[in-house]
Structure 1
C-alpha cells in the first residue's frame, strides 16, 4: 500500500478522467452509429481494452464516413 502513496495523483488523475470520458463517449457513439468500418463488437473490444489509444483509433479509423 505504500506504493499508492508514492504515485503523484495530481498528474495521474487527469489522465484517468480523460481516459474514462473518451471510453464512454466512444462507446455511446458506437452504439448510436449505424455503420462502422468493421464489426461493432471488435471496435467495442478495441475501445475498452486498448485504453487511451483505443477510443482515439475508433474516432479516426472506425467511423464510416458516408
Structure 2
C-alpha cells in the first residue's frame, strides 16, 4: 500500500494524459475517412491497444492534414 501512495502523484497525470490522448485520437479516427497510412480499423486498434504510443503514432503519421 505504501508503494502505491509513493507513486500515485506520478501515475495520475500519466493516466489522465493517456486517456485524453486516446479520446482525442479515437474521436478523430471515427470522424475522418482519409489517413496517410492504413485504414480506420487499423488505427482504432492501434489507438486503443497501444498505450500512450498508439495515439501519438496516429497523430504524427496516420492523421491526414485535411
| Common topology (TM > 0.5) | yes
Poorly superposed stretches of 4+, deviation over 4 Å: none
Aligned length: 63
Distance in 2 (CA, whole Å) between partners of 1:64 and 1:23 is 17
Unaligned runs of 5+ in 1: none
Q: TM-score, normalised by structure 1?
A: 0.85
Matches within 5 A, 1:9-48: 9-36=8-35, 37-48=37-48
The alignment's C-alpha RMSD in Å is 1.3
**Which whole-Å deviations, capped at 9, do the CAs of 1:7-61 have from their partners, x for residues lacking one?**
2101100000000000000000001112012111011110011110000000001
